[in-house]
Amino acid sequence: MDVNKVYLESVNKQFLYYKKLAEKAVEQLEPEQLSSTITGHDEINSIATVMKHMSGNMLSRWTDFFTSDGEKPWRDRDAEFVNETADRDELLAQWEEAWARLFQVLDSLKPEQLLDIVYIRNEGHTVMEAINRQLAHYPYHVGQIVYAAKLLKQGSWDSLSIPKNSSKQYNENKFIQEKTVKHFTDDELKRLK
């Protein structure tokens, strides 16, 4: 078993899982809710702002991954945090472009490249460290998106994980199945479709 190949397959699935999680939260909202913020909290970003930031980060980090610093001179990070009314279609197009760039790089990586050095703000990272850095960063923001979406949702919320008061039944269903070796996201991604 090639541990580096297993690692790359695992991170690819995890990134996809968090992408889908954010999208399923956003799908439950009205377009104008994407630009809403919690009144009285100037430091809290709208979902659109968080998505704009994530997209800017991804485009910067994953463009010319091996040949230029991950913090591109053309990126305007501060502008990503300007809360403004967002057009849902434009926002989702930018989001898709950014994720496509990430997956394009991940899909092109060879296991032996994981110890190669790439730079982010002039600091060297192994490719594995750079991936792990983003795999911590993006779920952090996806959690913000999901939490904000729950607060903004008017009406019933379609749970994105095990619904409240369903853990016992969920676990019982898991434990009556044969033991298997698979990635934890395999079932979750099917559920999020």
DSSP bridge partners of 124: 119
Query: Residue 90 corresponds to which tokens in the numbers above?
Result: 């434009």
pLDDT score of 47 more than 80: yes
Q: Output phi, psi for 67, to 5 deg.
A: -110, -10
pLDDT score of 188 more than 90: no
pLDDT score of 76 more than 70: yes
Percent of the chain with pLDDT over 90: 74
Q: Which fold has domain 3-160?
A: Four Helix Bundle (Hemerythrin (Met), subunit A) (1.20.120)
Measuring CA to CA, how many Å separate 51 from each of 56, 114, 141? 9, 28, 8
Helix (H, G, I), strand (E, B) or coil at 117: strand
Phi-psi region of 45 (alpha: psi -120 to 50; beta: other; left: phi over 0): beta
pLDDT in tens, 21-41: 999 999 999 999 999 987 767
pLDDT in tens, 106-135: 999 999 999 999 999 999 999 999 999 999
Q: According to the model, what pLDDT value does residue 40 have?
A: 65
* pTM exceeding the 0.85 threshold for the entire prediction: yes
On average, the pLDDT of the chain sits at: 93
Confidence of residue 191 (pLDDT cuts 50, 70, 90): confident
